[in-house]
Each structure stands twice: as structure tokens, then as C-alpha cells.
Amino acid sequence: MMDERTFFRMAQAHPFLYPAPRHDYKRLLNLASTRDPEANAQLRIALHELGYDFDESILNFSPNQCRFELLPEEFLINVELPFVREDDVFVLTTRLPISDGLHMDRKKIEPSNTTIERAIFRHFWRYFRVCSRSYLALTEEAASFLPVGKKNRAEMTFYQEGCRYMYLQALDGRRSPRSPLGERTAAFLLRIEEIWPGGPGLVAAWGLNSISTLAWCSLLRYRCPWMLETRGLTMVELYPTEPPERPSTYEWTRDWGMTPVFETGVELPPRPEETGFNLSLAGCGRTPDRAR
């Protein structure tokens, strides 16, 4: 007999969590310490109000050996998630490290080099040519959605401390002057219907550091939750405010200014290099028969 709780199962929101940075590369990762937990909580509460229940967290941790480069597909670690279903979503609130191994930024994120992570990367690569702590470059297809007057957001360089803009540059190579950019930074939301055919969706919201990510997720929860249902990539600019001297809550993050930059409104199609990609995601809910 079918369990009543199973029969009436709601769509689930699964936190997709990267580990907190290890201060000594010789130390093992702390399984209880994850990046951006408060930002992820803000986003999951917003999704709960849109009809998603909370469910199992997914620890997207790297192997014990510290490694920032991306491995070839044949060396990826296969991960099985039998509890995940096609109406679920992964909730990601950390910038994906698709380029960290190629940049000399002081603050990096270790990729896990798993099949699940690489499947998510393939969607990110449709929108970003480069995505690191200090430098982001949109693909030509994503940059085509930039409005007149903001074409120079095709390439963005950020200060590593405070993550405000340093330079902006258009695809034609014209770069903005350094001084007039002010105390602004960028934040992004990527909404994907299916990470792989028949698999879960993705709700990824992040900024260039932990504070901007938390502020952005708070704004999505309190001021613009409808954005979470917008497919494809959304970009906004944030105007940070100074926190109180001794804050007792995160309420001050909701006072940040926010200006929309662009949204694609649709998911961009697969890139040519994705043709024939076999996810090899055996054990992921209803996926195996449809993903191969």
C-alpha cells in the first residue's frame, strides 16, 4: 500500500552546499561547515512560500585533496541521489567555481568534480565564459540581452575586497573608466527547469562575496520573490549599505538598493560542445532511463 506521505509528496527544495574554505590545504574539510548557509535559508523560505517543501541537503564537497582545476569528464566522481525527483529543485547560493583554477584570486572555491556539479556547470557555461571572484564574462548569447546603455556589463572586473566594480567592458573592447563606478556590485539569479532530462530544476542566486549573496537572497525573499520563477539568467546591481555597529539580525541587508540590469526570460539552448554529453547519473530518482 502506498504511503500517504509519499502519495501527497510536495516538490522539494534541496540545499546544494559547498564547503567553507579550509585555512590549511592539508586539513580535511569540516562536514558541518558550509558556505552561505544563511543566504540559502533565506532562499529556501522564499521557495517554501512558492510551494516547495524543505528536504535533504546535498553536500557538494571536494575530495580530500585540495584541487581547483576541473577534471576531464572521464575522471568525474559519480554521485547517486535516489531521493531526488523531477519536480524538485537544487538551491544554490554560492558562486560556481567554473574558472577558479585559471585565476590567481586570493579567495577561491574548490570544485567537487562530480557528475552532478558538472551537469550544473553546463548550464552556467551557456551564460558565462568566465566566472571567478574578481572577473565575470558573459557569453555572446547572454550579453545580447543587455540593454542599450549597459552593454559594458558583458565583462565585469571586481575588487576582491568588498566586491564592488573595478572595470566594466563591452564585447567590442570599450572599457569604462575606473573612478565613476561607485559603491555598486552585481548579483545573479539562474533558474533552470531541468538540470538533466527528467531531473530536478535549479535555483541559483549569488553575488561576488558572502555579504552580497546574503543581501541578494534576502531581497529575493522579502522584496521580489516573483523573480525566482523567471527562467534563465537575471542580473541586478546592488547598492550596499553599512551594517550597524553591532547588528543583532540581518534586517539591514534588506535596505540595500537594487536595480535590474537584464533578464533573458528563457533558458539559453545547449552549446555545441554539450552534444552527446552523458551525465551517467545512475541512481538519481527517475533519471537513469531518460538521461542516457
pLDDT, tens digit, 9 for 90 and up, residues 241-283: 888 889 899 999 999 999 999 999 999 998 876 654 444 444 4
CA distances from 62 to 30, 74, 155 (A): 11, 17, 29
Q: Is the pLDDT of residue 292 over 90?
A: no
> So what's the pLDDT on residue 75?
93
Least confident stretch, 31-45, 178-192, 272-286? 272-286
Q: Is the pLDDT of residue 206 over 70?
A: yes
Average pLDDT over residues 100-118: 89
Q: Is the pLDDT of residue 26 over 70?
A: no
Angle at 274 between CA 271 and CA 279, to 5 degrees: 145
Q: Which amino acid is at 248?
A: S
Least confident stretch, 24-33, 147-156, 204-213, 243-252? 24-33
For 274, phi and psi rounded to 5 degrees?
A: -80, -15
Task: Record the pTM.
Answer: 0.88
Looking at per-residue pLDDT, the higher value among 24 and 171 belongs to 171
Least confident stretch, 5-14, 19-28, 67-76, 131-140? 19-28
> So what's the pLDDT on residue 135?
94
Looking at per-residue pLDDT, the higher value among 22 and 25 belongs to 22
How far is Cα of residue 223 from the mean position of the Cα atoms in its chain?
20
Q: Buried b / exposed e across 143-153, counting CB within 10 Å, b at 16+?
A: bebbeeeebbb
Average pLDDT over residues 31-46: 90
* pLDDT bracket for residue 180 (50, 70, 90): low
Q: Distance between CA 88 and CA 148 in Å, rounded?
A: 36
Q: Distance between CA 224 and CA 217 in Å, rounded?
A: 10
Name the nearest CA neighbour of 292 among 83, 279, 283, 85: 279
Q: Distance between CA 261 and CA 282 in Å, rounded?
A: 39
Looking at per-residue pLDDT, the higher value among 193 and 277 belongs to 193
Q: What percent of the chain has pLDDT over 70?
A: 87
> So what's the pLDDT on residue 24?
56
Q: Distance between CA 281 and CA 82 in Å, rounded?
A: 10
* pLDDT bracket for residue 27 (50, 70, 90): low
Least confident stretch, 3-7, 70-74, 286-290? 286-290
Least confident stretch, 14-28, 126-140, 146-160, 225-239? 14-28
* pLDDT bracket for residue 173 (50, 70, 90): confident
Q: 253 — alpha (psi -120 to 50), left (phi > 0) or beta?
A: alpha
Average pLDDT over residues 30-51: 90
